[in-house]
Each structure stands twice: as C-alpha cells, then as structure tokens.
Amino acid sequence: MPAYMLLTFDLDGEAPYILKKRDYVQVTRGLYGVKTGLYKILQVLDKRRIPATFFISAYVAEMHEKDVYEIARRGHEVASHGYLHEDFSQLSASEAEEVLTKSKNILSKFGSVIGFRAPYWRLEKWLLELLALKGFIYDSSLMDSDFAYTLELGSRKLVEIPVSYHLDDWVLFEEKQFPPDIVLRSWTYELEWCIENETLFVLTAHPQVIGRGSRIRVLDGLLRLAEKLEKVEVTTCRKLAEKLLKPGD
C-alpha cells in the first residue's frame, strides 16, 4: 500500500454563524470562504490537476449553488457536512436522520453523495449506524487510527477515514495564529513521515481559513512537495473508500 494523501475542504460558509445567530460580521467571515477562499483553492488544485473532497453544509449549496456547481464541474467530490453545520452530538436520532436526509437530497444535485463529515468532528457512536443505513459509504470524523479502515455495523459496512487536529488549518491558523511558514514546515514533516510509514495524510482545510491572504501558499507549497515525492497517492475520500470496499482488497 502506498501512503495516501487526501485533501479535504470543509465548506461551512456562513452556515455555523447563521445557526448560532452570530452578527453579520461573522456571517461575512464565512462568506469569504465561498466568495474568495474557495476560488483560490480551486485555482491551486487546477494548476496541479489534483482532485479533492469538499464537505459542504447543504445550506451553503442552497445559497451559493453556482459556486458548488463549480466545485463539481472541476471534478472534485461533493460530500455531506450537515445542513446548517449542526453539532450532531447534540441531536436526537430522529433530528439527525432528518438533517442527513435533507442535506443529502440537496447535495445530490451536484453528484452522488456517499461521504459524511460531522461538523466540529462531533458525533456519538450511534450516528455511524445511521450513516450506513442512510446509504453513506464512508465517514471522516473519527480520530482513532493512522489508516483508513472498515467498520462492520451489523449487516452494513462503513469506511472510516480518520482525521486529526494537527492537520486542521482551523486549529493552527485561527486558534494558534501560527505563521504560514511554520504550518508548511509542520505539514511537510508530517507528509514525509506518512510516506515513510505508508499511512494516511488527511488535510482538513477551510476555504475561509487557508484561502485567506498568503496562507494559500501553504497549500500550494504542500502540493508542490507531494508532486515531487514518490510513493504517495493523492486521491479523494470517495476513491479510497471504494477501494477499501472492493472485494478481494
């Protein structure tokens, strides 16, 4: 198995701020991601012909249909990230089911939706079964492995593509306010380690964060490095999940 590099972008847009009834300035902070940050990311991905996965809060797809079409049109995967960026650990099973169904229906307009990532990476274990029941093939919210793996949930299977805070731009840039060169150095070190150990490198980035100002150079720098390195396959969550579920593999 080679090391896999997955570029995942959570397009939250204004959804979390609307749900939490934050002021309009916070709403514009989210809007920056859709209007500006997203296009910087798409440009970098286009330049290097690299496919990515976009986890999208379905409200954003309703409000910014043209921008989400642009993601799909350029060949990237569209996956589910709630409707209004809900904290699923606070929802009842019936509320969660309603949100999953509604958001999947909205996003299906842009292609088949087989993946889910819990907003804030918060969920309870029962949600995994519900995801499998609702036809999701994979989840990308848990933190218990360096590798993607398959969960056996009764008669159903769900691939898990684990994430981590140290590869999350929100933590490093928004919370810690690290300068771009430090973040690039840290992610470079991590990518090299993943390649040496044939593990999984799942970058979680947000258009409103990595797409702001000079930070986009970190993404470009990381992809430039990945192109040069052998033994790393850059792919989408969809392709990796399908590979894991392929009989005989």
Interface ranges with Zn ion (CB under 5 A):
10, 12, 119
Query: Which lies closer to Zn ion via its Cβ, residue 160 or residue 169?
Result: 169
In the complex, minimum distance from the CB of residue 121 to Zn ion, in angstroms, rounded to a whole number: 8
Give the pairing type, strands 53-56 and 149-153: unpaired
88 touches 126 (CB < 8 A) = no
Query: Which lies closer to Zn ion via its Cβ, residue 207 or residue 221?
Result: 207
Neighbours of 36 (CB within 10 A): 14
Q: How many angstroms separate the CA atoms of 72 and 83, rounded?
A: 18
Query: Which lies closer to Zn ion via its Cβ, residue 30 or residue 221?
Result: 30
Which residues 6+ apart lie within 8 Å of 37 measured at CB? Answer: 206, 207, 208, 209, 210, 211, 212, 216
Query: Which lies closer to Zn ion via its Cβ, residue 119 or residue 180?
Result: 119
Query: Which lies closer to Zn ion via its Cβ, residue 82 or residue 221?
Result: 82
HSE on the CB side for 246, CA within 13 Å?
A: 9
Q: How many angstroms separate the CA atoms of 44 and 51, rounded?
A: 11
Query: Which lies closer to Zn ion via its Cβ, residue 7 or residue 195?
Result: 7
Which value, to the nearest 10 degrees, does the dihedral of the CA atoms of residues 24, 29, 35, 40 take? 170
Neighbours of 238 (CB within 10 A): 22
3-class DSSP state of 249: coil
